[in-house]
Structures are given as C-alpha cells and as structure tokens.
Amino acid sequence: MQGIVPLEMTQTEVFQAIQDNGLLASSLWINIALAGLSILLFVYMGRNIEDPRAQLIFVATLMVPLVSISSYTGLVSGLTVSFLEMPAGHALAGQEVLTPWGRYLTWALSTPMILIALGLLAGTNMTKLFTAVTADIGMCVTGLAAALTTSSYMLRWVWYVISCAFFVVVLYILLAEWAQDAEIAGTAEIFNTLKILTVVLWLGYPIFWALGAEGIAVLDVAITSWAYSGMDIIAKYLFAFLLLRWVADNESVVSGMASGLGSASGGA
Ligand code: RET
C-alpha cells in the first residue's frame, strides 16, 4: 500500500525505529539539548533590552530555538516521522524510507523568524520583508510536498525545482536588497557577517536534500539527519547568538537606525 500514511507502523514502532538507530537518535537529541540551552542563554542576554525595535529582533530570534525544540521533539517522538514507500525511479523504489517530514514543516515557522530578524537589522521596508517571508514559506511548504510525494519520482523533483525558485527570491533579497539597505541603516558590518553565514549554510539544505534518502539516496538517512542537525546548530544557535550579542551591545544603533518600516514604537 502506497501513500503518506504509514499503515503498517504505529507511532510507537516509528519511535522505536528512531531510538534503535543511535546515529539518527543522537542527531535529534543533541538539538533538543542545544535548543533548550540556547533559550535560557538568549532570555538572559536579552533581559535588559528596552528599545522596541531591538526587542522585536530579540523576540523573532528567540522564536528560532523555541520552534526548534518543538520540531525536534516532534521528530524524536515519531510524531512527525513516517515510513514512506518510494515511487518507481527512485534509488530505493518500493522500500519504506524513514522520512522526517516534520523538519520541512517546522522550517516554515523557524526560517521566517530568521528572515524577520535579518530584515529588521537591515532596515527593510514592508514590501521586501513580505516578499522574503512569503517566498521562504513557499520554499519550505513545497519542500515538504517534495518529501511527501510518493505517486511519482518525477513530481518529487518538480516540487524540488519549485522550492528552489522560491529560494532564489529569498537569496536575491538577502544578497542584493537588504545588503544595500544595511549600508544606509549603518548595520552593514554585522548584517554582512550574518548574511554570509546564512547564505552559505542555507545552500547546504537543498544539497543534502538532493543527496539524501529523499533525493538520489547516496547518503543514508542518519547521515543526512546529522548534516541537517549540524547545519541547524550553526544556522540557528550560532546565528542567533551572534545577532543577539550585537543587538544587546548596540541598542542605540538599532533604535536610531534608518528603517523602511518606520519607528517600531509606533511614534514618529
Ligand atoms: C529544501 C528542498 C527543496 C529545495 C530547497 C530546500 C531548502 C531548504 C532550506 C532550509 C533552511 C532551513 C533552516 C532551518 C533552520 O531552522 C526544502 C531542502 C531550496 C534553505 C535554515
């Protein structure tokens, strides 16, 4: 029986299959631990921030480990993992492949937070922020569709290409639009560091998707999971730490910066 419902497996069995694969399970548990520590550290780092725009950057950034701890709890419990039968044409055709689809779903919540924080730091206007966030959500949801499509191998890659098209929009805004805005806002130095970190790491996700079990399957499920977990550690926790440390030390720059969104306090 083919489909996205793992008919033969209960959630307990999926949970057991994950725990039995030590390499896979450790890639998930380590992120739960790091997300928990990051939440505590970030709350501490942001405790004295008073400027509304700096607070908004702080809240968006804090959401990243909060979504992450929820995401990894869903994965480790087996709730958001299914064994899906791959279609003809796939390297593992006919086999039930462990698919951690919860990752792609929760990226639709975590990655917009990263972009909101970066956009605010760059002094974005509403149009660019809206475009970046909606394209990013489009990228994650169509990536989810690629992973869940079991009817046709070709259509998995069609979804993949659509997702990449959304990704190009996000990259354009990061590299061209916001890089320029950050110059005007006076935040170019920190923005450029975070931009490079983001662009380089985010490019890794579609590469590992394509190489992993969802794509051409040259990498095993546990290795792919570690690749994502490793990239997550840098793209989320290190990213958030660098951003929050800068915001906490430069609150006056943030409150006085030129921004296309106007004042965050609602006044003139
Ligand atoms: C997919 C597959 C389809 C093509 C593309 C992808 C891009 C994913 C990206 C994910 C970034 C995730 C992050 C998560 C941190 O919380 C969906 C893998 C383009 C860029 C940074």
170: in domain:
yes
* 6 domain-assigned: no
How confident is the model over 128-152, as a mean pLDDT?
98
Residue percentage of the chain with pLDDT more than 70: 95
Atom of ligand 1 nearest to the CA of 167: 19
In a domain, 152, yes or no: yes
Residue 138 falls inside a structural domain: yes
Residue whose C-alpha is closest to residue 125's, from 60, 201, 45, 184: 184
Q: What is the pLDDT of residue 260?
A: 80
| 147 located within any domain | yes
Identify the residue whose C-alpha is closest to ligand 1 atom 10.
205
Is the predicted pLDDT of residue 264 greater than 70, yes or no? no
235 lines ligand 1 (CB under 6 A): yes
Tell me if 31 CB under 6 Å of ligand 1: no
Total structural domains within the chain: 1
Ligand 1 pocket, residue 208 CB under 6 Å: no
The phi and psi torsions of 206 (rounded to 5 degrees) equal -65, -30
Local structure of residue 85 (DSSP, 8 states): E
The predicted model gives 162-187 an average pLDDT of 97
Q: Report whether residue 229 contacts ligand 1, using a CB cutoff of 6 Å.
A: no
Distance CA 185, CA 49 (A): 20
| CB-facing half-sphere around the CA of 235: CA atoms within 13 A | 22
Q: Can you give the residue range of the structural domain that contains 96?
A: 11-254
Question: Residue range 194-206: average pLDDT?
Answer: 98
* Ligand 1 atom with least separation from CA of 140: 17
The pTM (predicted TM-score) of the whole model is 0.94
CATH number at 72 reads 1.20.1070.10
Strand ranges (E), the chain:
82-85, 96-99
pLDDT above 80: residue 268? no
In a domain, 264, yes or no: no
Q: Do the interacting molecules here have an ipTM over 0.95?
A: yes
CA-to-CA dists, residue 118 to 46, 141, 165, angstroms: 17, 21, 21
Q: Determine the pLDDT at residue 9.
A: 86
Q: How many CB atoms lie within 10 A of CB 130?
A: 12
* Domain assignment of residue 220, yes or no: yes
Q: What is the mean pLDDT of the chain?
A: 94
Closest by CA to 18, choosing from 56, 91, 72, is: 72
Q: Is residue 81 part of a domain?
A: yes
